Amino acid sequence: MYWTLELASKLEDAPWPATKEELIDYAIRSGAPTEVVENLQEIEDDGCDYDSIEDIWPDYPSKEDFFFDEEEY
């Protein structure tokens, strides 16, 4: 399984919290790339709901990672 920002961003608007099956269904209905569906299918399913993309991809960068304080530089 591999995630990229482009692939993970396809799930930002998913109906969180969601189960693995709900995320797969959302990805298919929203026209996400095949890689997104394949990555979701590879997740070990413990029957829990996922609250956000960070639950699936812990290293997912937050919006704060992309912004910087101009006064610091």
- State pLDDT tens for residues 13-41: 999 999 999 999 999 999 999 999 999 99
pTM: 0.79
- Residue 41 · residue 50 · CB < 8 Å: no
Q: Provide the token pair at 1.
A: 């399984």
pLDDT at site 42: 93
Q: Provide the token pair at 48.
A: 């829990």
Tell me which residue of 3, 9, 71, 1 sits closest to 41, measured CA to CA.
1
- State pLDDT tens for residues 41-53: 999 888 889 999 8
Q: What would the 3-class secondary structure string for 38-69 be?
A: HHHHCCCCCCCCECCHHHHCCCCCCHHHHCCC
